[in-house]
């Protein structure tokens, strides 16, 4: 029987967080030159992931 211990993945996710807010202005990401978005997988054999995007704000 194989035991799957995800403790390191859970600890890293609790430190780094599981959500992200990104400002968008005029239909483009409003980020600085040196800023980026990175996906961190903390498991040795991660499965497929689904990205959920929620947009909210005003259109002028």
Q: What is the pLDDT along the chain (60 residues), one digit of tens a residue?
A: 445 667 777 888 788 877 778 888 888 889 888 988 877 777 777 778 787 888 777 766
Look up the pTM and report it.
0.45
Instruction: Give the pLDDT of residue 56.
Output: 77
For residue 4, is it within any domain? yes
Determine the pLDDT at residue 60.
65
Domain for residue 59, yes or no?
no
Q: Is there a domain that residue 53 lies in?
A: no
pLDDT of residue 1: 47
Tell me, yes or no, whether 60 lies in a domain.
no
Q: Distance of CA 7 to CAs 3, 4, 10, 11, 42, Å?
A: 12, 9, 5, 6, 10
With vertex at residue 41, the alpha carbon angle to CA 35 and CA 47, rounded to the nearest 5 degrees, is 135
């Amino acid at each position: 029987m194989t035991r799957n211990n995800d403790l390191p993945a859970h600890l890293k996710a609790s430190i780094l967080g599981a959500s992200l807010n990104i400002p968008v202005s005029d239909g483009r990401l409003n980020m600085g030159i040196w800023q980026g978005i990175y996906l961190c997988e903390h498991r040795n054999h991660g499965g497929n992931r689904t990205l959920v995007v929620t947009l909210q704000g005003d259109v002028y």
